[in-house]
Amino acid sequence: MVQRTRDLPGTSRYVETNGVTLHVRTIGPEDGIPVVLLHGFPEFWYGWRRQLPALADAGYRLLVPDQRGYDLSDRPGRVGAYRIDALARDVVGLLDAEGYDAARMVGHDWGAMVAWWLALGHPARVERLGILNAPHPGAFGDTLRGNPRQALRSWYAGVFRLPRLPEAVLRARNYELLARALVGSSRPGTFSEVDLARYRTAWGRPGALTGMLNWYRANGLRSGSFDRRERVTVPTLVLWGARDAALVRENAERSVGYCEDGALVVFEDATHWVQHEKADEVNERLVDFLG
């Protein structure tokens, strides 16, 4: 099934993968090098809107899914359905469905955690790895256990793992707390009222908020999701906004240490939302790196 949205880049389609149906935004020449863009919490494919035209114009074929639980993709009810290995298999299945043996992977936030996991567990499917403000799983586990500042900044993750209460709080007053979190943790003007309206629509789909929170519930510190300490073998570029309110900078530096061929670029005046705030610079770096 194909769906068009006139005022946004790309075309929508639905892809069966790993027992779920994912909504996927596609753009770029069909014979271009495939690049998968993986969004984080609490966004959806729209979080890459500032990258899509530039990467497509550079000749890449972009596959940009709403990951499971989000917006127009399936939202399984079981918490266990959101374990990180299942999320990674969704992307492997997407590549299979599209006829690609491998692709370049780029992720932000939780989407970057899925990208790390793919590079560790399915390295033959990942040709290059682009990471935006998300640490290597083992690096994050090390930092979380050893740096009190990171433990303090991660307080909200424990709250998100509670049953039912987070949904009630985040849904209140038309998702005011989620919208305030985006605006308050970013540079002024990063998210417009039009952007927030689109996010509210995505958050308000039946079961979406629970699906989004289930990523936290299924992948806590005791789940084993942050115990992998293998080194990433594929070329890796880490782009990091230094003013991230949730993640200390130590995560970025430690993550590159887990890469055999890794590079780190820090944007000193950017926050967690680096792909929005430094879109031109991020696009330039990605185009040069993805090759």
Tell me the pLDDT tens digit for each residue of 20-68: 999 999 999 999 999 999 999 999 999 999 999 999 999 999 999 999 9
Partners of residue 232 on adjacent β-strands: 259
Question: Which of 75, 67, 73 lies closest to 14, judged by CA?
Answer: 73
Catalytic residue list: 109, 216, 272
Predicted confidence band at 2 (pLDDT cuts at 50, 70, 90)?
Answer: very low
**Residues 238 and 250 sit within 8 Å (Cβ to Cβ):** no
- Confidence label for 120 from pLDDT (cuts 50, 70 and 90): very high
> How many whole angstroms separate alpha carbon 112 and alpha carbon 235?
15
**DSSP letters spanning 229-276:** -PPB-S-EEEEEETT-SSS-THHHHHHHTTBTTEEEEEETT--S-HHH
Which homologous superfamily does the CATH classification assign to the domain defined by 2-290?
Alpha/Beta hydrolase fold, catalytic domain (3.40.50.1820)
Enter the pTM of the model. Answer: 0.97
